[in-house]
């Protein structure tokens, strides 16, 4: 008799508690959590759609909010109804002058900033967004705000573009090279047009274009806030 009662208790303990109900606070918490998650998902998808859709009254009205959601983690490099993939490989290099002995300056070799990013991306199943887009976006920003003929700023944000590009490079290079303080920095951009497929019949792409920027002085302020 005792054994039978024990087996019955064990069976009741193993049986799923189908008749149990969530408490009122638990139900309220789950309901609010589900509603918040659904709301955030809808708002996020709406922002991404407005970003990739053709310009319209709604996207223009909420441009700042849409950019705040999309950039930089969810940027798209194409438009929903007019894809325009990149047709050039852009590489950005930098070199610096350092303070040598006796007040002389030492010219350092070019540093492949883009090459370093590519090394970090290749073979990485989940590459960092910083490695993929930070330097590329910085160059796009600079290129869109400067005249390539004399590298003068064409808009008010040109100075900001220079500082942005410079600080990205200095964060990677550091304050010193081989124990010598960095005094100046120069950038070089190389644009290589992608070759068309053999069956297209198109002409071979032109030779790579190289663009060197002027030397920029480096001050302590350029390192402010850099890790």
119, 179: one domain: yes
The pLDDT assigned to 71 comes to: 80
> How many domains in the chain?
2
Last residue of a domain, one of 59, 85, 111: 85
Task: Give the confidence band of 116 by pLDDT, cuts at 50, 70, 90.
Answer: very high
CA-CA distance, 147 to 152, in Å (whole number)? Answer: 5
Are residues 115 and 74 both part of a single domain? no
- Domain coverage including residue 190: 88-223
Instruction: Report which DSSP code applies to 153.
Output: B
151 class by beta-carbon count within 10 Å (0-12 exposed, 13-18 middle, 19+ buried):
middle
pLDDT band at 42 (very low <50, low <70, confident <90, very high): very high
**Residue 5 banded pLDDT, cuts 50, 70, 90:** low
Mean of all residue pLDDT scores within the chain: 88
pLDDT, average across residues 60-80: 80
- Are residues 78 and 64 located together in one domain of the fold? yes
pLDDT of 102 reads 82
Indicate whether 150 and 110 sit together in one domain: yes
User: Tell me, what's the pLDDT at 73?
Assistant: 73
C-alpha to C-alpha distance for 72 and 165, rounded to whole angstroms: 16
One domain for residues 197 and 116: yes
127/180 Cα distance (integer angstroms): 33
For residues 118 and 37, state if they share a domain. Answer: no
Structure tokens at 179: 């124990």
Better-scored residue on pLDDT, 31 or 22? 31
- Most confident range, picked from 58-62, 82-86, 160-164: 160-164
Average pLDDT over residues 161-181: 96
**218 in the same domain as 113:** yes
Asked if 212 and 186 touch (Cβ cutoff 8 Å), the reply is yes
Q: Are residues 43 and 146 in the same domain?
A: no
Same domain as 108, residue 28: no
Tell me: do 108 and 212 sit in the same domain. Answer: yes
Q: Rounded to the nearest 5 degrees, what angle is found at the Cα of 183, between the Cα atoms of 221 and 162?
A: 55
User: What would the DSSP string read from start to end of 29-60?
Assistant: HHHHHHHHHHHHHHHHHHHHHHHHSPP-HHHH
Farthest CA pair distance, the chain? 101
Do the domain assignments include residue 8? no
Q: Look at residue 12 and tell me if it is in a domain.
A: no
Whether residue 104 sits in one domain with residue 206: yes
| 99 shares its domain with 76 | no
């Amino acid at each position: 008799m005792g054994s039978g009662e024990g087996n019955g208790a064990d069976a009741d303990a193993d049986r799923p508690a189908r008749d149990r109900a969530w408490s009122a606070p638990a139900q309220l918490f789950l309901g609010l959590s589900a509603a918040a998650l659904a709301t955030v998902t809808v708002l996020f998808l709406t922002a991404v759609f407005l970003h990739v859709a053709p310009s319209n009254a709604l996207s223009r009205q909420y441009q700042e909010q849409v950019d705040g959601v999309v950039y930089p983690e969810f940027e798209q490099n194409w438009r929903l109804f007019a894809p325009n993939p990149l047709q050039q490989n852009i590489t950005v290099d930098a070199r610096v002058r350092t303070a040598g002995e006796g007040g002389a300056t030492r010219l350092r070799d070019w540093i492949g900033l883009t090459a370093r990013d590519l090394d970090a991306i290749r073979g990485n199943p989940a590459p960092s967004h910083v490695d993929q887009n930070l330097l590329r976006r910085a160059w796009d920003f600079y290129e869109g705000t400067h005249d390539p003929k004399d590298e003068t700023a064409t808009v008010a944000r040109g100075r900001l573009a220079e500082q942005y590009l410079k600080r990205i490079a200095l964060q990677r290079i550091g304050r010193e090279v081989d124990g010598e303080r960095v005094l100046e920095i120069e950038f070089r951009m190389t644009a290589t047009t992608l070759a068309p497929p053999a069956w297209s019949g198109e002409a071979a792409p032109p030779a790579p274009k190289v663009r060197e920027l002027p030397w920029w002085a480096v001050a302590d302020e350029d390192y402010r806030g850099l890790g």
